[in-house]
Amino acid sequence: MQAVILIGHGSLRSASGASMIRIAARLRERGVAPLVEASFLNYSRPTLAEMVEKCHAQGATTVIVQPYFLIEGTYVQQDLPALLQDVARAYPDLDFHVAPVLGDHPAMVALARRRVQEAEADAPRRRPAGLLFLAHGTPLPAANRPVYSVMQQVQVQMGFTYGQVGFLDCNEPEISQAVQQLVEDGARYILALPYFLHMGRHVREDLPGILAEVRRRYPAVTIHLARHLDYDLLLADVIAHRAAAVQEQLAAMPCRPAGVGREAACRAGRAQVVMAHWLAPSPKAQLAGSLESVETAGTLLERIGG
């Protein structure tokens, strides 16, 4: 029996993960898998270990872990694999597989467009107009490619003259620098979209504070703040698509040992190997909104010398 477990970052604000929990409920209603649950990497509960235990008790034999993250930053590339290694040790009879992040799936473009349209219903656009994505940032700058991809697609599709991504942390340009660039380019109206999934401290406090400061700096420029991504069934569409892609890969695998991230090899009969892997998609795939592939067990075994 398959289980899909969403895993989000978690927050000190206990209600910030409510949207992901609602998305899991919608996926359960759709029958994406016999079991669908939600979990958190940090701060919040339930944890991944708790949800794996629950699904195992209900008869799961395969667990697809769906990172509820926009990009493959450090949490996905480093923290999640380490956590999954620890959890998997307690369940040698389970197959674990990791789906790609939300990325620049076409439904993410549609969701960003929806938030822009909602915002502009309240504050009609003035021209020349700039689109500003407010993103968190990551110590792995290349992981931000999907954010740029979505922003650029929305900019073109919705007719914004200028577009920028501004980062709260880790990367440049910072948000104030991105606003400055838009103003220097000629924008007199800026639609700022918080490209965040949850209503955590950054969305509730940090971003409004930063925008208040830049509004004081540029009083002649209208800076309108849209709603963050939040809860939307388009997110359920992305995850359903991601999970289906992994399920198709699993169905095609000739050899399916249990476990994740250990050094034994399928062909050696020791039944412990990383079964799925999220890959950084090529720039071409990014721009096309293509689904990232999942490595087969054979390809991965060759790569790690198993």
At 64, which helix (H) or strand (E)? strand 62-67
Q: Of these residues, 9, 97, 105, 228, which one is catalytic?
A: 9
Reply yes or no on whether 241 is catalytic. Answer: no
Structure-token match 């939300």, residue found: 102
Q: What is the CA radius of gyration of the chain?
A: 20
Strands 62-67 and 129-135: unpaired
Q: What angle do CA 28, 30, 31 make, to 5 degrees?
A: 65
- Helix 207-217 / helix 175-185 crossing angle, nearest 10 deg: 40
Max Cα separation, the chain? 69
Dihedral (Cα; 21, 165, 292, 2), 10-degree rounding:
-10
Catalytic residue ranges: 9
